[in-house]
Amino acid sequence: MSFIQKFAVRNVGRNRRRSLLAVISVTLSIMLIVFLQGMIGGFLDNLVHNYTKNETGHIRIATKEFEERAKFFPVTDNISNPNEIIKLIKQDENIQKYIKSISQRIVFGVLLSHDGNNKQTIAYAGDPEQEKELLMLNKSLLPGGRYIQNEDEAIVGKKLAEDLNYRIGDEIPVMTRGSDYALHLKKFKIVGLFETGLSMYDEMIFQLPLAGAQELLRMLGQAQQIVIMLKNYHNSDVIAQMITEKLSDYDVQVSPWTKIGVYANYVKMANSIYNWIYIVIAFLGAFIIANIMMMVVLERRKEIGIIKSMGFTNGQVLTMFMNEGMLLGFVGSVVGSLIGLGIVTILHFHGIDFSGMMESINFPMSNVIYLRLNLLSIVIAILLGTVTSTIVSFFPSRRAEKMKIVDSLKSV
Amino acid sequence: MPLLELQGVIKNYTKGDQIIPALRGIDLIIEKGDFLSIVGPSGSGKSTLLNIIGCIDTPTKGKVLYNGNDLTALSDKEKTYYRKENISFIFQSYNLIPVLTTRENVELPLIIEKKFTKKEIHEKAMKIIQIVGLADMADRFPRELSGGQEQRVAIARALVKNPLVVLADEPTANLDSEMSEDIISVMQKMNEERHTTFIFSTHDRLVEKHAKRVIILRDGKIAKDERKNNGNTE
């Protein structure tokens, strides 16, 4: 530790109550930042998790024609050889090690009618076993029902069933246009109702087995899309590029979730906005340091004169006071981060229940949000608190630097 | 060549529209090894004169030459260097740094100089602390010392870097006569042994008595410049 740093440490301990006040101010702001980072991270993770598992996967493989009209769920632009593509991907160890699951899926819109009620719905068809890792509707089944076992069975969202007056055991007549552009009808027996807590899914979707849907849509051996889930969704852009190169001979498009739909942009925008909010909070917390440092500089005018008369340069005076501000900021940031980390850790495992709020929100987010535990964000919060405290200390320190010795020595 | 030479130094302060003259034309030569006392009533310009010699204030007019170099022409950075290398101050109210111990206060000028190792700084500081008789108090903070002890620390701090000039503004003003005698004898010893030039501004008769040269300032002018020889006035 240099002499100036040692001097700064001693000076911070000079008026403990005042220093404590400064530290508490930074502690509170950094604690808030760490908590917000955890909560916003938790929200975004949850959004990404639900959005990708239900809609896009972390990576989606489909035909170019499908991607162009994806929002209409076309069943006419399909991958003709999905099993071959999946096999090829699974054979590549460099890609396979990043993959959690890979499965075929068909999603299509259908108008259901029952007891005189009509409702626009979306059918999700996939391999029932694979979908246990994706849609995971088997985990949200209500008592009295069971998961899909045969190709003519379906499970239906609870609100959708209520709207159309469906019960377990009823048959859903699904009539839609197939890949051959002709109308086809197939009945599926409801074997279970699910309630995910995501209103947009509970009132709009029902799940079918892939084989049943392929038969209905005349898509035997074909898939509308191949959905890949990764072990870490942050790698999706890189892995998508690797798969694109691998499938260069096939007429398909490989898209990471970040390039599909609007939610990826929401996530990017939210991250950017909240980063600015964190900086503003950090400055608000550090602002009290600026006030305290100003008091300190005025109180120690004479001392500034003495050390300058001894040969302390203006730069050394500036550094000394900025060191004091930085030290207060650093201590506050460390304490705030540790407290924040404690809160985030608890809520990472126990979660916060937003059931009441989520009911009316049509967004792919769960009722219970588990805060994101990220040690890097703790390091960033400590840096942010320390840097902002140092910056706000600059102006009082500059005042000390500019003081004339003769005036300083005259002060009482 | 004299150590210090003041040529027609004028210093005016302004208070609102009013100009207050502090020094009205000082011509003065100070030789190396002088033990000089500047006396005079309050407001006569004693402190201003010391501040100008110490380069912490600038004259309105005139020149201050140090070994023939004009101090008034120096930049702020050069003035800081001049102070660091040549000048030490002793203040009336001691002005020790409260968060530093006796030893650390004394070490401070050497740390600023950046010329010595940590070990050398420590040894030099302890040596001078011993000379001023405070070896037992080296690890005490200023609040744990008496006024006399604090002023001894201030003297040790001023002398530790072996400056050519020590500027002492009322160094005995807050001390009783016994303590003042003690402090003056320490400075006399340094003057004799190291030929350090001491320039005092004082009201204290005792300091005046021990000075080799006494300058009387009145209304910003030198009213009398008296050099003593073995206690006799020249």
| B144 lies within 8 A of chain A by CB | no
What pLDDT is stored for residue A216 in this prediction? Answer: 95
Checking if the pLDDT of B233 tops 60, the result is: no
What pLDDT is stored for residue A201 in this prediction? Answer: 85
Checking if the pLDDT of A152 tops 70, the result is: yes
Q: What is the CATH number of domain B4-233?
A: 3.40.50.300
In this complex, do A311 and B95 lie within 8 Å of one another by their Cβ atoms? Answer: no
To the nearest whole Å, the CA of B139 is away from the closest chain A CA by 15
In this complex, do A3 and B89 lie within 8 Å of one another by their Cβ atoms? Answer: no
pTM exceeds 0.80, yes or no = no
Query: What is the maximal distance between C-alpha atoms in chain B?
Result: 54
Q: Is A319 exposed, middle or buried (CB count within 10 Å of its CB: 0-12, 13-18, 19+)?
A: buried
| B117 lies within 8 A of chain A by CB | no
| Residues B95-144: tens digit of each pLDDT | 899 999 999 999 999 998 888 999 999 999 999 899 888 899 999 999 99
Q: How far apart are CA A224 and CA A182, in angstroms?
A: 17
CB pairs under 8 A between A and B: 57
* pLDDT confidence tier of residue B185, bands split at 50, 70 and 90: confident
| Residues A309-364: tens digit of each pLDDT | 888 888 989 999 999 999 999 999 999 999 999 999 999 999 888 877 666 666 66
| Residue A205 neighbours by CB distance under 10 Å | 22
In this complex, do A309 and B54 lie within 8 Å of one another by their Cβ atoms? Answer: yes
In this complex, do A409 and B80 lie within 8 Å of one another by their Cβ atoms? Answer: no
Domain ranges in chain B? Answer: 4-233
* pLDDT confidence tier of residue B184, bands split at 50, 70 and 90: confident
Phi, psi (degrees; rounded to nearest 5) at A357: -75, -40
In this complex, do B84 and A311 lie within 8 Å of one another by their Cβ atoms? Answer: yes
Query: What is the ipTM metric for this complex?
Result: 0.85
In this complex, do B113 and A311 lie within 8 Å of one another by their Cβ atoms? Answer: yes
- Rounded to an integer, the average pLDDT of B222-228 is 88
What pLDDT is stored for residue A359 in this prediction? Answer: 63
* pLDDT confidence tier of residue A387, bands split at 50, 70 and 90: very high
| B112 lies within 8 A of chain A by CB | yes
CB distance A318 to A398 below 8 Å: yes
To the nearest whole Å, the CA of A11 is away from the closest chain B CA by 7
- The pairing of beta strand A153-157 with beta strand B213-218: unpaired
Which neighbouring-strand residues pair with A187? A173
CB distance A254 to A59 below 8 Å: yes
B9-23: buried (b, 16+ CB within 10 Å) or exposed (e) per residue? Answer: bebeeeeeeeeeebb
To the nearest whole Å, the CA of B176 is away from the closest chain A CA by 22
Q: What is the mean pLDDT of chain B?
A: 88
* pLDDT confidence tier of residue A408, bands split at 50, 70 and 90: confident
Phi-psi region of A281 (alpha: psi -120 to 50; beta: other; left: phi over 0): alpha
For testing contact with chain B, the best of A1, A304, A310 (most B CBs within 10 A) = A310
Q: Which residue of A has its CA nearest to B166?
A: A310
Query: Who has greater pLDDT, B197 or B187?
Result: B197
Residues of A with Cβ-Cβ distance to B57 under 8 angstroms: 405-406
Phi-psi region of A19 (alpha: psi -120 to 50; beta: other; left: phi over 0): alpha
Residues of B with Cβ-Cβ distance to A303 under 8 angstroms: 95, 97
In this complex, do B91 and A306 lie within 8 Å of one another by their Cβ atoms? Answer: yes
CB distance B171 to B20 below 8 Å: no
| Residues A102-123: tens digit of each pLDDT | 999 999 999 998 888 889 999 9
In this complex, do A311 and B109 lie within 8 Å of one another by their Cβ atoms? Answer: yes
In this complex, do B108 and A307 lie within 8 Å of one another by their Cβ atoms? Answer: yes
| Residues A5-53: tens digit of each pLDDT | 888 888 888 888 889 999 999 999 999 999 999 998 898 888 888 888 8
What single-letter DSSP state applies at residue A260?
S
